A and B are shown apart, each in its own frame.
Chain A
Amino acid sequence: MAKTLFEKIWHRHVVKTIEGGPSVLYIDKHFIHEVTSPQAFKGLEKRGQEVFRPRQIVATADHNVPTLDQHLPIKDELSRMQVQQLIANCAKHGVELYGLGHPYQGIVHVIGPELGITQPGMTIVCGDSHTSTHGAFGAIAFGIGTSEVEMVMATQCLLQSRPKLMRINVEGVLNKGVVSKDIILYIIAKISASGATGYFVEFAGSAIRSLSMEARMTICNMSIEMGARGGMIAPDQTTFDYLKDRQFAPQGAEWDKQVTQWSALYTDKDAVFDKEIHIDAAAIEPMITYGTNPGMGISVSGRIPTGADPKSLDYMGLQAGAAIKGKKVDYVFIGSCTNSRIEDLRLVAEFVKGRRKSTNIEAWIVPGSKQVEKQAIEEGLDKIFEAAGFQLRQPGCSACLAMNDDKIPAGKYCISTSNRNFEGRQGPNARTLLASPLTAAVAAITGEVADVREYL
């Protein structure tokens, strides 16, 4: 019988199915971080349990770490304690930790792929909703809560009901100035912030196939922003080329064997989805959000819908029917698990090279990992950013969720390459406009929302 990519992986990981209930799903890789793991370790100890398969867990400190002076002790006491708790828990339970100061440290969804830990055909979870990022490799990857983190620590399994399946086909060629972030913002604007709730989404079509792994990760990353349990893309030569020779990727004969197996991971021709959506890549323009959920997006050249939610517009200080282009901006944040990879930094550097940021703008670039930071410096991108007046910081989640000191002040506008524009997400009463790294870069230069196509 014809199967979808999702079904092929799911079936291989079902330990058993409870009658009239969920399945016991085996988890290959479990990523943990300092914010959603302490209560899980505590719960495990309270039950008198050990971590069942410590070698299948990888830990890092990312959500709550400063992005300046990482060599110094963390100033905020609660943050410091949380990071120390992670160090102690990992040492006690034999879990590999890439903590502050480690050359592999970084945002959990950046380091998993770049180290080759994330591989096609796997089941991957993490106590973070953007775990969907790893689906770009043809894996079933999704975010879980802390009780579920404890379950995976205790048994390497989760109880899961099989989600419905959706395929989003993006066909055609992207216009100049349009990148993968625009594709996903366009899709979410089209189907809404809850348009894929209950579904696991496969992204397919010629426009998706043409994307690099970094670009594919950006798309899968934001699957959760339309409510999807996760997103995935079938692995292909682009996937294999990206993974080859990475630290934890299979080597030698094992590599060849795995590539053969991975090559069978695609949706069969006659497989059936519960829902299919077709998107014309040529219709997508550079996108930006105007409201307080990621579904409230429009083309940068467009107008805020007349029927837009008044509560959102009031929070954002924007008017229905008004153009978004020309809106003054205060901050530019380039970072987060959505857009902080080397390709994102290269894209921004290429655009700002020889240009200078507007005087009213504070521009932060927060690389996704130590490896991204190192690569950026080796390529001389740091010099370009410095000359353009951008501040290159150290790796972490940073102003995406503003748990650390990287907060946008109340009432200020930030063009952000992150994934959420919820009220207060980047700081109490901060106003977030989500966009691509290119649209963020042009805003930094002009000091306002601008159409990057006019500057290319």
Chain B
Amino acid sequence: MNNRSIHIVQSTAIPVDIENVDTDQIIPARFLKATSRDGFGDNLFRDWRYNADGSPKKEFVLNNPAYKGKIMVAGKNFGCGSSREHAAWAIKDAGFDVVISSFFADIFKNNALNNFLLPVTVSDDFLKELLETIKNDPSTLITIDLPGETITLEATGRKENFDINNYKKTCLLNGYDDIDYLLSIRNEIEAFEHQHA
């Protein structure tokens, strides 16, 4: 276990009740000119969050001081479009450890997992309940139990299981990433190359 690992996350949540959020909205292309992984959180949802002059748009949920927490709850088909990992970096950099939706785009899901940002897929019905409950009461607590693969809405006690493959789960629990694993089997990769040459 190291400081990247994820076990149990209990937190209030921020409801981003919008469907088909694409990675261009999460982080617009004009902010992709950096050559490091840091600092993207400031521009998370830039054009929904700020006016052209840099003043905050009051109506956008991230600017509402009532909502805080390490969990983002978002509409269906979250993270579609561009493969930019900057989207996952921006969400993580802004202080989130978990994103909950009823459907994630494939590339975003992989990018999130590679950055120890846990994408949790719930049923459409549960997502609706989560969004409504949080919107009505921003102090609503949600518990994500990675070892048990469950998500609980504490206010109502409703609990759902979520899917994650065993390999990825082990990585997240221990703070390992895919490169650590792939480097450890490089002799097998070389043998494969030799066979297929």
Q: Which residues of A contact B (CB under 8 A)?
A: 12, 15-16, 18-22, 24, 26, 35-36, 38-39, 42-43, 47, 49, 52, 63-64, 76, 78-79, 81-82, 85, 127-129, 143-148, 150-151, 154-159, 161, 163, 193-194, 197-198, 224-225, 227, 229, 293, 311, 401-403, 410, 420, 422-425, 428-429
Which of A128, A193, A402 meets B20, CB within 8 Å? A193
Does A82 contact B107, Cβ atoms closer than 8 Å? no
Residue numbers in B under 8 Å from A194 (CB-CB): 20, 76-77, 80, 103, 105
Residue numbers in B under 8 Å from A193 (CB-CB): 20, 77, 80
Q: How far does the Cβ of B88 sit from chain A's closest Cβ, in whole Å?
A: 7
Does A423 contact B24, Cβ atoms closer than 8 Å? yes
A-B contact count (CB 8 A): 178
Does B166 contact A21, Cβ atoms closer than 8 Å? yes
Q: How far does the Cβ of B180 sit from chain A's closest Cβ, in whole Å?
A: 9
Does A20 contact B30, Cβ atoms closer than 8 Å? no
Does B107 contact A129, Cβ atoms closer than 8 Å? yes
**What's the Cα separation between A159 and B182 when bound, in Å?**
8
**What's the Cα separation between A114 and B140 when bound, in Å?**
55
The reply to whether the CB of B137 lies closer than 8 angstroms to some CB of chain A is: no
Residue numbers in A under 8 Å from B177 (CB-CB): 147
Does A64 contact B182, Cβ atoms closer than 8 Å? no
The reply to whether the CB of B138 lies closer than 8 angstroms to some CB of chain A is: no
The reply to whether the CB of B154 lies closer than 8 angstroms to some CB of chain A is: no
**What's the Cα separation between A85 and B115 when bound, in Å?**
23
Residue numbers in B under 8 Å from A163 (CB-CB): 106
Known: A39-B35, A157-B189. 20 other contacts (CB 8 A): A15-B189, A42-B37, A78-B33, A81-B33, A128-B83, A145-B84, A145-B114, A147-B177, A148-B110, A155-B183, A194-B76, A224-B81, A293-B80, A422-B24, A422-B81, A423-B25, A423-B47, A424-B24, A425-B24, A429-B47
Residue numbers in B under 8 Å from A147 (CB-CB): 85, 111, 114-115, 177-179
Does B182 contact A227, Cβ atoms closer than 8 Å? no
Does A16 contact B188, Cβ atoms closer than 8 Å? yes
Does B25 contact A24, Cβ atoms closer than 8 Å? no
- Summarize A's interface: helix, strand, loop or mixed: loop
Does B81 contact A39, Cβ atoms closer than 8 Å? no
Which of B18, B76, B182, B196 meets A151, CB within 8 Å? B182
**What's the Cα separation between A39 and B166 when bound, in Å?**
28
Which of B18, B165, B183 meets A20, CB within 8 Å? B165
**What's the Cα separation between A281 and B86 when bound, in Å?**
39
Does B28 contact A159, Cβ atoms closer than 8 Å? no
Q: How far does the Cβ of B116 sit from chain A's closest Cβ, in whole Å?
A: 11
**What's the Cα separation between A329 and B174 when bound, in Å?**
54
Q: Which residue of B lies closest to A154 (CB)?
A: B179
Residue numbers in A under 8 Å from B83 (CB-CB): 36, 127-129, 143-145
Shortest Cβ-Cβ A-B pairs, 3 listed: A21-B167, A145-B85, A147-B114
Residue numbers in A under 8 Å from B166 (CB-CB): 19-21
**What's the Cα separation between A76 and B126 when bound, in Å?**
47
**What's the Cα separation between A79 and B34 when bound, in Å?**
9
The reply to whether the CB of B123 lies closer than 8 angstroms to some CB of chain A is: no
Does B178 contact A151, Cβ atoms closer than 8 Å? yes
Could you give 13 example pairs across A and B, Cβ below 8 Å?
A42-B35, A144-B110, A146-B85, A151-B179, A159-B181, A194-B80, A198-B106, A225-B81, A293-B20, A401-B24, A410-B52, A423-B25, A428-B28
Q: Which residue of B lies closest to A403 (CB)?
A: B29
The reply to whether the CB of B168 lies closer than 8 angstroms to some CB of chain A is: yes
Q: How far does the Cβ of B60 sit from chain A's closest Cβ, in whole Å?
A: 13
Residue numbers in A under 8 Å from B20 (CB-CB): 193-194, 293
Does A82 contact B33, Cβ atoms closer than 8 Å? yes
Does A403 contact B30, Cβ atoms closer than 8 Å? yes
Q: Which residue of A lies closest to B167 (CB)?
A: A21
The reply to whether the CB of B82 lies closer than 8 angstroms to some CB of chain A is: yes
Which of B86, B111, B179, B189 meets A24, CB within 8 Å? B189
Q: How far does the Cβ of A423 sit from chain B's closest Cβ, in whole Å?
A: 6
**What's the Cα separation between A24 and B111 when bound, in Å?**
17
Does B105 contact A38, Cβ atoms closer than 8 Å? no
Which of A22, A42, A225, A401 meets B165, CB within 8 Å? A22
Residue numbers in B under 8 Å from A423 (CB-CB): 24-25, 47
Q: How far does the Cβ of A304 sit from chain B's closest Cβ, in whole Å?
A: 17
Does A197 contact B103, Cβ atoms closer than 8 Å? yes
Tell me which residues from 2 to 56 in chain B have a Cβ below 8 Å from any Cβ of chain A. 18, 20, 22, 24-25, 28-30, 32-37, 47, 52
Which of B32, B47, B77, B103 meets A403, CB within 8 Å? B32
Does B178 contact A159, Cβ atoms closer than 8 Å? yes
